[in-house]
Amino acid sequence: MRKKGKGTVSNKFSMSRRQFLQFSTMMGVSVAVVACAAPTTTQPAATAAANQPAATPFTGSVGDLLGKDMPGSPTHAKGWTTKLPDLGEGNPPAGEPIEISTTRRVDAQTAFGPGDSLDNNPFSRMMQKLFGVKFTVAWTWATDDEANSKYNLAMASGDLPDFLETIPTAIFVKMVEADLLEDLTDAFPKYASQRWQDTWKEYGDLPWTWSRIDGKIYGLARVEDLAHNDTVFWYRADWLETLGAKAPTTLDELHDLAKAVVDKGLGKGASGTTIGLMANKEYAHTWYGSLDPIWGGYGLIPDHWSKEGDGLMFDGIRPELKEPLQLLNKWYNDGIFRKDFFTVQTSDSVQDVASGLAGLHFTPSWGANLDTVKNDPNTKWAFADIPTGPKGQFRHTENNFREGPFAFKKGMEHIDKIFMITNWMQQLT
């Protein structure tokens, strides 16, 4: 195993970003929370409550409760089973479910099985059965520009969903200034599990970098699971076989391989234009087709902060960036990148790979696109370590607490429910 470059922060938080997003993003309509309905009776509330039968404590298994919505493979031929944690006291709750509206990030690959949708799928049904929470989706977005537009519109109209996913930083600050978000300073120590609190405590103030303003906490950090999102170099092994080439170990070798892929025209996309190496408008770093390993070959990531003397300096303004910029400019002029890569959304990069236009890209371990196999049965994907820079350096995105926090609309009544679900899901890892 290669030792990672200088400054890498180990990820001790076992809850993955994908899991965190999954629990929090199956939600949303832009209406207030629908609380449990009051008894429809003329009796005083206390009398009516006293006349209600006591809730029967849940004594069965979580699997029995979920039935066909049980995740995993409970009836798999190989005998695989899924064990879920205990639900905790009071779950599942009696009575009608509580509605919590939310926003939801999607992309071109978001799809559901027959009869399922954003509002009704195995995950949302599981949350309703286990915790009495019905998530509804107010609106979705697929690109950063769309997220900015919809969040701005919702903020201007005052029509915010209850639970907000990964709010763009500038908009988050405006929401705090306008007193539109709940103060979570006391809620986090009150509702977060001890495991959650202890884990984040190990990172000091880092978890609150993007959500603490004037000493108060207004959001929960978006968490990157660095093990899950650790970038590797994906390549079409069938293309390398055609070229008689090996996986590159240096940036120079990567350049030569990508140039050969373009010159040979190995891409089979509709446009007929082969892409040597995937790149898109988020060229500092992104979740698919990132260029952060190229910058990292020179010891920098443009949108990161790194130590400088007794403080920090934003890497994007360091003069040392000129060298990798010159390299990338040369690669662009050599035809290695898509000509309009700087206009391409990250989610569209996925389509370039799926259509067979691109076969070399920097993406985490889940990044191989199996649609290429459907389109071309000869497709063979393989991955290798990140090529090193001119001085043998090796570095890529490494901050597991990221911008774009999760937050709650001011007046949200059921913050505890979101913490309860998160606490439970942490036990799955």
314-361 pLDDT per residue, tens: 888 999 999 999 999 999 999 999 999 999 988 888 889 988 999 999
Residue 148 shares a structural domain with residue 283: no
| pLDDT band (50, 70, 90) for residue 294 | very high
Residue 216 shares a structural domain with residue 278: no
Q: In what order do the strands lie in the sheet with 381-384?
A: 360-363, 232-236, 381-384
Residue 175 shares a structural domain with residue 78: yes
The β-bridge relationship of strands 360-363 and 232-236 is: antiparallel
The answer, yes or no, to whether residue 34 has pLDDT greater than 60, is no
The β-bridge relationship of strands 98-105 and 133-141 is: parallel
Does residue 327 sit within a domain? yes
Residue 22 shares a structural domain with residue 102: yes
Does residue 145 sit within a domain? yes
Residue 380 shares a structural domain with residue 417: no
Does residue 395 sit within a domain? no
pLDDT one-digit tens code per residue, 245-263: 999 999 999 999 999 999 9
Does residue 366 sit within a domain? yes
pTM score > 0.85 for this model? no
CB atoms within 10 A of CB 378: 12
Does residue 139 sit within a domain? yes
Does residue 389 sit within a domain? no
Count of structural domains within the chain = 2
Does residue 345 sit within a domain? yes
Host domain of residue 331: 232-384
Residue 171 shares a structural domain with residue 311: no
Does residue 49 sit within a domain? no
pLDDT one-digit tens code per residue, 375-384: 888 899 999 9
Residue 409 shares a structural domain with residue 296: no
Q: What is the largest CA-CA distance in the chain?
A: 84
Residue 199 shares a structural domain with residue 255: no
Higher pLDDT, 215 or 47: 215
Residue 147 shares a structural domain with residue 257: no
Residue 185 shares a structural domain with residue 310: no
Task: Say which CATH number the domain at 249 has.
Answer: 3.40.190.10
Whether 412 and 185 have beta carbons less than 8 Å apart is answered as no
Residue 115 shares a structural domain with residue 170: yes
Whether 260 and 243 have beta carbons less than 8 Å apart is answered as yes
Residue 191 shares a structural domain with residue 266: no
Burial class (CB in 10 A: 0-12, 13-18, 19+), 106: middle
Q: How many residues does the chain have?
A: 429
